[in-house]
Amino acid sequence: METMTLTQDMQEVLNTLGIQSVNPAYSTGQKSGSTDGERTTRDIHSPVDGSLIATVQMASVADYDQVIEQAQKAFKTWRMMPAPQRGEIVRQIGNRLRQYKEPLGKLVTYEMGKIYQEGLGEVQEMIDICDFAVGQSRQLYGFTMHSERPQHRMYDQYHPLGIIGIISAFNFPVAVWAWNAMLAAVCGNVCIWKPSEKTPLTALACQKIVAEVLKENDLPEGIFNLIIGDAEIGSKMAHDRRVPLVSATGSTRMGKKVGEAVGARLGRSLLELGGNNAIIITEHADPEMAIRATVFGAVGTCGQRCTSTRRLLIHESRYDEIKERLLKIYPTLSIGNPLDEKNLVGPLIDQDAVNSFKNALQKAQEEGGKLLVGGEVLSGEGYEGGNYVTPALVEAENYYEIVQEETFAPILYLIKYQGDVHDAVATHNAVSQGLSSAIFTTNILEAEAFLSQRGSDCGIANVNIGTSGAEIGGAFGGEKDTGGGRESGSDAWKVYMRRQTNTINYSTELPLAQGIKFDI
Ligand code: UN1
């Protein structure tokens, strides 16, 4: 595919998705005129070329309260609809996303900077979770129990919680919202989505798509709400008792604040926070597979996935070979405009990210690490206005302070280990985060040791697959500083519901449990 003429092509994309140059602060179907004066605006520049894509109004606190009220109202209608009918609405949303897959994928790429293939993949992830949620809408199962009392019946059932707050991050500007929103919706909840301030336009585009479907079905728009605002809005949501569950994706620092605020009011939080993901390459690994997975994991999305591969733990017997292979590949990676399909590495999100990249590399070297390749900031032809860097390989030790941190940039630390798989696992687990992990080995004993109860301590543990690129069908999330939440597949739906145990007496006696006698 040839390079696209950004201005024309992107203008068309924006038109197709209904994005104007100035966009409202929030969209619930009713725009508020009364609070306009209090709103600030924010310019959204593309990390690809620095162009101004659009200006959005940031919601005020008054806007927030209005959105809550609309959501509360919509909940009353939505919760009464049978779950499979709610699934039908989500099915239509999934179909509409299929229809808009390409323009939406392009906007994800242009606003966030991931390559177009990954932009499309992100939209596909939304479509996949819609399909999953449609099926789930007919499977909100509870257990039935046998009562200890005669002619009594017991079962548990699940009811919706109410308003679900969704705080999402810039790196997956739409997919992670969809994981939460689509499941929450089939469960009978309404949502309020606060996207990253860095990527509000893809959120607006999704909101418009969803609003279209709701309108066609004569349903209130307040079922899916969007609020574009700064950290103050996120904090309001975390403290707000009217929001029984807050799902937050982002840094551990942010997640701790949200978790504390929600915990203090005994609400529920679902946290998907930082990762410091490693691949272990054992002496029995297939090097070809290990290398391909490592490169995708480390440089894909320019190292800005929660699941990006940040540490490579290599058995000493394979170290030189793996290092050499990587050193051959890294200089050949095509870096540049992510809309041009020949490029595999796009830009970082903004200048702050470029600075953290540079600072991390400097720190790593100060601590004794050796920069093997990459680490430059690119400028000049093809890179004007964008935040392009060359992915870096650094020889390091796991205990370095900087290696212990998550730097949202394409830096891969090569760490040599000695001993057996248990030694590798010990180093692997010696970080505070616990999201994703992988081992490359053709030895079943090593693979099973890695997956065992004394193996990887992460929420995701893969064998002969990299750390990133999980399917939606599994529960997604991690332990320790990653926050403990699980989103997306498996039985993650349960977090969006409250469980009720029902016991029904169909006898004419009133026996008490535990055989207690209490005759009056
Ligand atoms: C994230 O980075 O927050 O597993 C989500 C993956 C993607 C989702 C990442 N499916 O890499």
The domains of the chain, with CATH numbers, are: 8-273+486-499 (3.40.605.10), 277-476 (3.40.309.10)
Nearby residues of 280 by Cβ (< 8 Å), 6 or more positions away: 313, 417, 421, 424, 425, 428, 437, 438, 439, 440, 441, 450
For the record, the structure tokens of 329 come out as 């590949």
How far, CA to CA in Å, does 222 sit from each of 4, 211, 235, 320?
37, 9, 21, 58
**Is 479 annotated as catalytic?**
no
> Residues in the chain, how many?
520
Q: With a 6 A CB cut-off, is 468 part of the ligand 1 pocket? A: yes
- The pTM of this model reads 0.96
For 367, phi then psi, to 5°, come to -80, -5
- CA neighbours closer than 13 Å in the CB half-sphere of residue 488: 19
Tens digit of pLDDT at every position of the chain (520 positions): 333 344 678 889 999 998 887 776 655 434 544 455 568 889 999 999 999 998 999 998 899 999 999 999 999 999 999 999 999 999 999 999 999 999 999 999 999 999 999 999 999 999 999 999 999 999 999 999 999 999 999 999 999 999 999 999 999 999 999 999 999 999 999 999 999 999 999 999 999 999 999 999 999 999 999 999 999 999 999 999 999 999 999 999 999 999 999 999 999 999 999 999 999 999 999 999 999 999 999 999 999 999 999 999 999 999 999 999 999 999 999 999 999 999 999 999 999 999 999 999 999 999 999 999 999 999 999 999 999 999 999 999 999 999 999 999 999 999 999 999 999 999 999 999 999 999 999 999 999 999 999 999 999 999 999 999 999 999 999 999 999 999 999 999 999 999 999 999 999 999 999 999 999 9
| Continuous segment of H or E residues that includes residue 145 | strand 144-146
The answer to whether residue 232 is catalytic is no
**Which amino acid is present at 426?**
A
**Choice from 122, 273, 476 to test ligand 1 binding pocket (greatest atom count within 8 A of CB):** 476
Take residue 227 and report the two structure tokens written for it: 């609020």
Query: How many Å apart are CA 310 and CA 436, to the nearest integer?
Result: 10
Please give the distance, rounded to the nearest whole angstrom, from the Cα atom of residue 119 to the centre of ligand 1.
Answer: 12
Burial of 29 (0-12, 13-18, 19+ CB in 10 A): middle
Q: Which residues of 314-348 are buried (b: 16+ CB within 10 A; e: fewer)?
A: bbeebbeebbebbeebbeeeebbbbbbeebbbbbb
From 306, 406, 458, 487, active-site residue: 306
